[in-house]
Amino acid sequence: MRLLIIDDSETSRLLLKTVLHAEGFGGAEDAEGFAAALALLDRTPEQELPDVILMDLEMPDANGIDATRQLKSKPRYTDIPVIMVTASDRLEDLEGAFAAGANDYITKPVHRVELCARVGSAQRLKQEMDQRKIRELELERMTRELEALSSLDGLTGVANRRHFDSTLAQEWQRCARDQAPLSLLMIDIDFFKRYNDALGHLEGDKCLKAVAHAIQNAFRRPADFLARFGGEEFIALLPDTDMEGGCRLARAIQNQLATLAMPHPDSSISDHVTVSIGVAATVPLPGAESSPLVAASDKALYKAKKAGRDQIINAEGQPCPPESS
């Protein structure tokens, strides 16, 4: 246990330290007045701060009530119990001490039994507060983990539909405010049902994970956002990206899958897994809904599949030009 005794009287400090040490309360430091105590506290590492402070009510450099109020105003010291040591029996002094944040008081002359009882009680209070802080931090950590889990697709690890909806709403508002373009890529794995039927659902799950990873490898900016839209469909949200930029990224995604070259046992168009992509882009208008943009990317995807799959079609129904064009 770590104690700090603040008193301008060396005799009083020595008496308190001697009694507390004899009763098993070791580790007591002392400071001659509040200024010296504050300097000592400010240079003490967080993990070595005192568990309890005993402070004299009347000191030449500071009133104990004002000193307590100043200490308790600093988050670093808020949870350290303060026991006021006073020779005063005035009710207003006690009321002032408690109002300032003191946790207890001891009257002078100090009695050994009372001193040990009140210091022990303050020590238990500090332990309870420390445990509460640990529980609160653990609860915050668990809450963050649950929030993260609730926003992710459990299979692929990318964002889920709910997270996509909230992110789209945020980016839509931002782009509307800044009059910046926003693109969506609706991405579908070609002949995925056949893949599942031929190899089984476990291999199908591996395929979904690999495709999600390949799409993310094509991203070049932290703001580019991928979500699983449902089944074998993914959707990419590209802030500050026009149609040309969306088509360029769609080509990069196809190139990633070509490099991956994951074998497909029953595709009508390729010996490896491919994707069809619908691209839509707009500059959002303030107050407008984002759903038409999602619908446009979905319609473009439908046209890409109708065009033979492994295609990139924009919202105008036209194939996206090759990168070299």
At residue 58, does pLDDT exceed 70?
yes
At residue 237, does pLDDT exceed 60?
yes
Q: How many CB atoms lie within 10 A of CB 314?
A: 25
Burial class (CB in 10 A: 0-12, 13-18, 19+), 324: exposed
Non-local (6+) Cβ contacts of 102 within 8 A are: 55, 65, 68, 82, 83, 84
Residues of the chain with CATH 3.30.70.270: 161-314
Catalytic residue (one of 232, 244, 289, 323):
232
- The distance of Cα 190 from the centroid of its chain, to the nearest Å, equals 37
Q: Give percent above pLDDT 70 in the chain.
A: 98
Top-level class of domain 161-314: alpha beta
Phi and psi at residue 289, in whole multiples of 5°?
Answer: -90, 150
Counting every residue written for the chain, the total comes to: 325
Phi and psi at residue 53, in whole multiples of 5°?
Answer: -115, 130
User: What is the structure's pLDDT at 324?
Assistant: 53
User: What is the structure's pLDDT at 315?
Assistant: 94
Residue with tokens 């994970």: 209
Residue with tokens 């924009």: 314
Q: How many CB atoms lie within 10 A of CB 323?
A: 10
pLDDT in tens, 156-174: 999 999 999 999 999 999 9
pLDDT in tens, 246-257: 999 999 999 999
DSSP class of residue 272 equals B
Per the prediction, the chain carries an average pLDDT of 92
Residue 221 and residue 218: Cα distance in Å, rounded?
A: 10
The CA–CA distances, whole Å, from 45 to 48, 76, 80, 125, 206 equal 5, 10, 14, 21, 49
> Using 50, 70 and 90 to split pLDDT, how confident is the model at 1?
confident
Tokens of 50: 């005192």
Residue 203 annotated in active site: no
User: What is the structure's pLDDT at 325?
Assistant: 43
The fold of the 3-145 domain, in CATH, is Rossmann fold (3.40.50)
User: What is the structure's pLDDT at 236?
Assistant: 98
Measured CA angle at 254 (ends 248, 257), to 5 deg: 145
Q: Contact, 115 vs 25, CB < 8 A?
A: no
> Residue 289 in 3-state DSSP?
coil
pLDDT in tens, 275-311: 999 999 999 999 999 999 999 999 999 999 999 999 9
Q: Give percent above pLDDT 90 in the chain.
A: 74
- List, in sequence order, every residue forming a beta bridge with 186; answer none if it has no partner: 235, 278
| Closest C-alpha among 232, 168, 165 to residue 204 | 232
Instruction: For 59-95, give the DSSP string.
Output: ETTEEHHHHHHHHHTSTTTTTS-EEEEES---HHHHH
Residue 309 and residue 67: Cα distance in Å, rounded?
A: 75
Residue 11 and residue 100: Cα distance in Å, rounded?
A: 26
Give the pLDDT mean for 11-16.
Answer: 90
Signed CA dihedral, 153, 159, 164, 166: sign only? positive
At residue 26, does pLDDT exceed 80?
no
Residues of the chain with CATH 3.40.50.2300: 3-145
Instruction: For 132-198, give the DSSP string.
Output: HHHHHHHHHHHHHHHHHHHTB-TTT-SB-HHHHHHHHHHHHHHHHHHT--EEEEEEEETTHHHHHHH
pTM of the model: 0.60
The CA–CA distances, whole Å, from 235 to 132, 159, 291 equal 43, 10, 13
Residue 291 and residue 279: Cα distance in Å, rounded?
A: 14
Residue 9 and residue 2: Cα distance in Å, rounded?
A: 20
User: What is the structure's pLDDT at 323?
Assistant: 65
